[in-house]
Structure 1
Amino acid sequence: MPRSREAACHPALCLVVCMFLLVAPTGSARSQPAPAAGGASGQAASAATPTPVPPAFSTSVTREVLVAALGFLEPRTLEAHSARDFCVWGLDGLTAIDPTLSVTETQSAALEPTTAHTPGTAMAAEKTADASAHAPAILNVLQGQAVIFSRTMPAADSNGAWADLVTAAMQEAWQHSSILRNAGSDALLQGFFDELFNHLDPYSRYLGPSPAMSDRTRRTGNTGTVGLSLGQSGRTIVITAVNANGPAWEAGVDMGERLVSVNGRTTRGQDVATVQAWLDGDEHTAVTLGIAAKGHRTTTVRLERAQVPPETVFASTDGPFTVLRVTSFSTQTAEEISQYIDQVVDEPTPDAPSQPADRKKAAGIIIDLRGDRGGVLQQAVTTAALLLDHGVAVTTHGRNPLANHIWAVQGGDMTNGTPVAILVDGRTASAAEILASALADHRRAVVIGSETLGKGLVQVIGQMPNGGELFVTWSRNQAPLGWPIQGLGVMPQICTSLGTDSLQAQISALKQGNTLQAEAVQMARAARYPVPVSKILEIRKHCPAAIGSDADMDAARALLSSPAAYRAALESVPDENSAPLH
């Protein structure tokens, strides 16, 4: 579809505390084992095989990471836990790597009375029992039946002392276990955090330095590119895609144009990989492109390389309707959506005031969130602000005061009230669920599909001294009408997972001003935290989670083609005045 050559920017009001992620992980990340280092033998030169030197354990790095992690975790987890809890849980990671190792707790031995039948014996025994009850606990690491490490446990909230203890325990285990040495230092930290987070929730996790770097790149983009994807047509290099987040988009470069030269070097006869490499370089450096549209002369475009987050929004048309497929919520997703919305509605003239009346109302917008696992919370809120005049997008609730926030938006609907349908399925999660619930609860969009995943927990990211990252769940999401997203997911106003006959009946009823999903929708909106598992299952069975299908798009077209059906579906969600926040 054609696109504007000018980037639009539509900020929403939101409080930025840190980087908040709402994403349903597809699997746990673990560091790759590091190869063992070898060394030369100190024996006579005639020795045929050098004796291997065990790899060194990174004591200082391990302690620094543990101190930082304990300080980050303690004030942020949803439930209060001490350094003792975190460390005792985490040390079980040694067993996960080497099953011959185990971690136990014992009490230090109490003094026994020296006289068995003299006056005061009973009192002495009572004092001994008291001493035993208050004796300091001992943490032990065993290999098989042999104790290889034993140390008195420090005070429960002494982060530094616990970091020292864990580091020492790991170092001793390292010396005794070839399995740990072969796994490497990074694996010990990964195992520690994996076991620790097993006691919290499914979404808190640790990423070691290498996977953390990859994850940051996914969120924020690589350094130094212009945002072009290239293809080949004979001996000619052709632009196949323009990333809406990059400098090439802002400069007006279009798909289908020929890339004739890069910094004066001709691209003719070169392969795509070579030319793509010419485009990349250090951030803020300049690159000059020779661009030629079909039938036009070559023009020169000078661009400055920049960080370009991966594109997450892909636009197409379906008859009179615009379809925006959102694959995730990265740092630029809302900006991408705003640029595409600008193509759907007419821009006001430069000398006219920017009023909603200056914009046309399009036939309809379909936002496809199927398979969207989420991403950055602020981006979901900012996207909601593009379509809402004002209101609460989501509220977050946690133990840390900074985790409690009302994410309100204001500024005005960019689309002048264009009808919106949102497609979801059983894989739609977290930030995508926030957007769907915000627009549905404000009667701004109709949600179509099946029950979503139900991931309503927010993670805050902590950078560790070794380059790794902690993702720690610190708040729960509550939709605008007061129901918790966690576990429940979003109940669609039109359910496509109950079969063709049910879907046809729903559409027919909506065209008559009735909705067959009203009871299920209202039951879901009436739920309040904490919701028992039995209640969650009872609600979700009214529209079982499923993988998206063509029926979703068929239902969206039918809905947007009937104003009566669209209005009835919107009104199946309770009015905000009848659904108190608490």
Structure 2
Amino acid sequence: MKHPLLLLLLFVCCCCSPVFAADGTENRDTYRHLETFANVLTLIQQYYVDDVDSGKVINAAITGMLSSLDPHSAYMSPEDFRDLEEETSGSFSGIGIEISIRDGILTAVAPIEGSPADREGIQPGDQIIRINGELTKAMSLLDAVKKLRGEKGTMVTITILREGWQNTRDLTLIREAIPLYSVRTMELEPGFFSIRISNFQATTTRDIRNALNSMSRKPPVRGVILDLRNNPGGLLDQAVKVADLFLDQGIIVSTRGRDKEEQIVFRAHDDGGRNDFPMVVLVNSGSASGSEIVAGALQDHKRAIILGTPTFGKGSVQTILPLPDGSGIRLTTAKYYTPSGGSIQATGITPDMLVPLTTPTTAAETPSESARPDTIIRERDLPHHLKNDTHTEPPPKEIKGMEHPEDFNKIQEIQNIETLLKEDNQLRTALIILQSLDLATKKQPSKK
């Protein structure tokens, strides 16, 4: 006699069969695979050496199923939902680090500015081998996130391995409330401003609009640098609205998926604003998703000069789909396309001006401890990443003299503008470009 759980799964398969009725072969294959899964689960329950929590095993199977699709699809427990809401609302408690899984190893993508991870010197490409002594090899990405986060004031010890190190090192960090200050502005010289966006969250567009209004109360804005370096993305609608602030018409981005509801075109609106000043957008390998949408739209409409190094290359859209028990799945449902119709998936955006970051390293750093170009992670390095369906050329090669990721983290700590411009050659080059455009405009003869 079949196990009751097996009968239940077979019943679900039969009830769902109309979904697959358009293709008889697919229907039979799906039924066969579900039956195999049910048989394996039954054997585990009958013969495994210890008692098995069926719910835990099935959740693990769901997690594995989603992780096999692409790096950004995942199962989310009710607790994960709450964490997601915290992150997009503007703060969470933890050590402040973006992580991913690369070649099966938990890997740091970028520390959040001013966070414990940033102050401790964690660098992009660092491999996180253990969290509180527990090996991360078998952890899912969401499990690792939950272990790194926790109550403010509590400690977490991570074991990291860096390219060039002979041995691992333990770092003990104290968790803090990590406020995600999305927007930071700075007047570099009279009339020339830098607007840095660290990620796209619920308040980003409002904060930038307030910053632009504040600028307009001063002498005329002569140029703006939009700094999207190490911006991993965030909310799609906020990225679209930010691009809309600087465009009066045309397509900002379009999304295409299997579902008709995913076939969406986002267009710019003329709201009567006068944000027509010259612009330079700074990007690097840490600029992903939402920041690539903004940079791609401004580049295709020739609204701004894009300067820096090739971006991460995440050109996919994730949708949160709830499940009856309060959990849900984050599923890749579409790819997005720039106004010119091209996809940047796994290729990234190539700047108009390729300018690697060349800040000097301190004498205390040894060659074995400084980050190397091959530690820079992009979408194409992630397992199961989606292929680009609009580009046939090979991915852009790394540029000789590629920026050291740790150097970018250091320059973000500099508060003095003169020192910042001296250390940050990308920011300095962008300012020179804006000053040149301003000077050229002034020299043009006025039309009568």
TM-score (normalised: structure 2): 0.57
Q: Residue 82 of structure 2 corresponds to which residue in structure 1?
A: 213
Letter in 1 for 2:435: S
Letter in 2 for 1:216: E
Are the counterparts in 2 of residues 312 and 329 from structure 1 also a CA contact under 8 Å? yes
Alpha-carbon distance, 1:340 to partner: 1.1
Counterpart pick for 1:562 among 405, 420, 436: 436
Are the counterparts in 2 of residues 451 and 546 from structure 1 also a CA contact under 8 Å? no
Alpha-carbon distance, 1:465 to partner: 2.6
**1:356-371 → structure 2 map (5 Å cutoff):** 361-371=220-230
214 and 427 in structure 1: CA distance in 2 versus 1, 3 angstrom threshold = same
Alpha-carbon distance, 1:316 to partner: 2.3
Letter in 1 for 2:207: E
Letter in 1 for 2:71: P
Counterpart pick for 1:386 among 245, 248, 258: 245
Q: Residue 536 of structure 1 corresponds to which residue in structure 2?
A: 394
Q: Residue 231 of structure 2 corresponds to which residue in structure 1?
A: 372
Matched, 1:318 2:188: yes
Q: Residue 275 of structure 2 corresponds to which residue in structure 1?
A: 416
Letter in 1 for 2:310: E
Alpha-carbon distance, 1:499 to partner: 6.6
1:492 alignment partner, SS class? coil
Letter in 2 for 1:205: A
Letter in 1 for 2:390: P
Are the counterparts in 2 of residues 82 and 156 from structure 1 also a CA contact under 8 Å? no
Q: Residue 201 of structure 1 corresponds to which residue in structure 2?
A: 70
174 and 333 in structure 1: CA distance in 2 versus 1, 3 angstrom threshold = farther
Are the counterparts in 2 of residues 425 and 547 from structure 1 also a CA contact under 8 Å? no
Q: Residue 426 of structure 2 corresponds to which residue in structure 1?
A: 552
TM-score (normalised: structure 1): 0.45
Q: Residue 427 of structure 1 corresponds to which residue in structure 2?
A: 286
Letter in 2 for 1:218: E
Counterpart pick for 1:329 among 200, 208, 214: 200
Letter in 1 for 2:303: R
Letter in 2 for 1:185: G
Provide the identity percentage: 25
Q: Residue 485 of structure 1 corresponds to which residue in structure 2?
A: 344
2:287 alignment partner, SS class? coil
Counterpart pick for 1:342 among 194, 213, 229: 213
Are the counterparts in 1 of residues 245 and 275 from structure 2 also a CA contact under 8 Å? no
2:82 alignment partner, SS class? helix
Are the counterparts in 1 of residues 222 and 438 from structure 2 also a CA contact under 8 Å? no
Q: Residue 122 of structure 2 corresponds to which residue in structure 1?
A: none
Deviations 1:104-143 (A, max 9, x none): xxxxxxxxxxxxxxxxxxxxxxxxxxxxxxxxxxxxxxxx
Alpha-carbon distance, 1:426 to partner: 0.4
Are the counterparts in 2 of residues 323 and 366 from structure 1 also a CA contact under 8 Å? yes
Alpha-carbon distance, 1:398 to partner: 1.5
Instruction: Output the CA distance in 1 between the equivalents of 2:188 and 2:240.
Output: 26
Alpha-carbon distance, 1:540 to partner: 4.4
Alpha-carbon distance, 1:186 to partner: 3.8
Instruction: Output the CA distance in 2 between the equivalents of 1:168 and 1:430.
Output: 41
433 and 220 in structure 1: CA distance in 2 versus 1, 3 angstrom threshold = same
Letter in 2 for 1:536: P
Alpha-carbon distance, 1:172 to partner: 5.0
**1:162-201 → structure 2 map (5 Å cutoff):** 166=37, 169-170=40-41, 172-177=43-48, 181=52, 185-186=55-56, 188-198=58-68, 200-201=69-70
493 and 168 in structure 1: CA distance in 2 versus 1, 3 angstrom threshold = same
Alpha-carbon distance, 1:375 to partner: 1.1
- Give 5+ residue unaligned stretches, structure 2: 93-151, 153-178, 360-387, 409-423, 442-448
Instruction: Output the CA distance in 2 between the equivalents of 1:177 and 1:332.
Output: 51
Q: Residue 121 of structure 2 corresponds to which residue in structure 1?
A: none
Alpha-carbon distance, 1:452 to partner: 0.3
Letter in 1 for 2:261: L
Letter in 2 for 1:563: L
372 and 440 in structure 1: CA distance in 2 versus 1, 3 angstrom threshold = same
Instruction: Output the CA distance in 1 between the equivalents of 2:212 and 2:42.
Output: 57
Q: Which runs of 4+ in 1 moved over 6 A?
A: 81-85, 161-165, 542-545, 564-567
2:79 alignment partner, SS class? helix
Instruction: Output the CA distance in 1 between the equivalents of 2:430 and 2:23.
Output: 50
Alpha-carbon distance, 1:493 to partner: 1.2
Please report the RMSD computed on the Cα atoms of aligned residues, expressed in angstroms: 4.2
Q: Residue 286 of structure 1 corresponds to which residue in structure 2?
A: none
405 and 373 in structure 1: CA distance in 2 versus 1, 3 angstrom threshold = same
Deviations 1:260-291 (A, max 9, x none): xxxxxxxxxxxxxxxx9xxxxxxxxxxxxxxx
Instruction: Output the CA distance in 2 between the equivalents of 1:217 and 1:381.
Output: 21
Alpha-carbon distance, 1:191 to partner: 3.8
382 and 204 in structure 1: CA distance in 2 versus 1, 3 angstrom threshold = same
Deviations 1:497-532 (A, max 9, x none): 2979xxxxxxxxxxxxxxxxxxxxxxxxxxx94323
Instruction: Output the CA distance in 1 between the equivalents of 2:207 and 2:401.
Output: 32
Range with greater deviation from structure 2 (430-439 or 414-423): 414-423
Alpha-carbon distance, 1:449 to partner: 0.7
178 and 557 in structure 1: CA distance in 2 versus 1, 3 angstrom threshold = farther
Letter in 2 for 1:431: G
Instruction: Output the CA distance in 1 between the equivalents of 2:24 and 2:222.
Output: 57
Letter in 2 for 1:530: T
Q: Residue 405 of structure 1 corresponds to which residue in structure 2?
A: 264
1:388 alignment partner, SS class? coil
Instruction: Output the CA distance in 1 between the equivalents of 2:279 and 2:29.
Output: 53
Are the counterparts in 1 of residues 358 and 403 from structure 2 also a CA contact under 8 Å? no
Are the counterparts in 1 of residues 279 and 305 from structure 2 also a CA contact under 8 Å? yes
Alpha-carbon distance, 1:83 to partner: 13
Residues paired across the two proteins, number = 303
1:334 alignment partner, SS class? helix
Instruction: Output the CA distance in 2 between the equivalents of 1:492 and 1:335.
Output: 27
378 and 163 in structure 1: CA distance in 2 versus 1, 3 angstrom threshold = farther
2:266 alignment partner, SS class? strand
Letter in 2 for 1:203: H
Are the counterparts in 1 of residues 66 and 75 from structure 2 also a CA contact under 8 Å? no
**1:569-580 → structure 2 map (5 Å cutoff):** none
Instruction: Output the CA distance in 2 between the equivalents of 1:430 and 1:384.
Output: 13
Alpha-carbon distance, 1:188 to partner: 3.9
Are the counterparts in 1 of residues 185 and 196 from structure 2 also a CA contact under 8 Å? yes
Q: Which has the larger radius of gyration?
A: 1
Q: Residue 147 of structure 2 corresponds to which residue in structure 1?
A: none
Instruction: Output the CA distance in 1 between the equivalents of 2:24 and 2:206.
Output: 41
Instruction: Output the CA distance in 2 between the equivalents of 1:482 and 1:208.
Output: 36
Alpha-carbon distance, 1:547 to partner: 4.9
Letter in 1 for 2:79: S
Alpha-carbon distance, 1:431 to partner: 0.9
Alpha-carbon distance, 1:466 to partner: 3.0
Alpha-carbon distance, 1:479 to partner: 0.8
Alpha-carbon distance, 1:410 to partner: 0.7
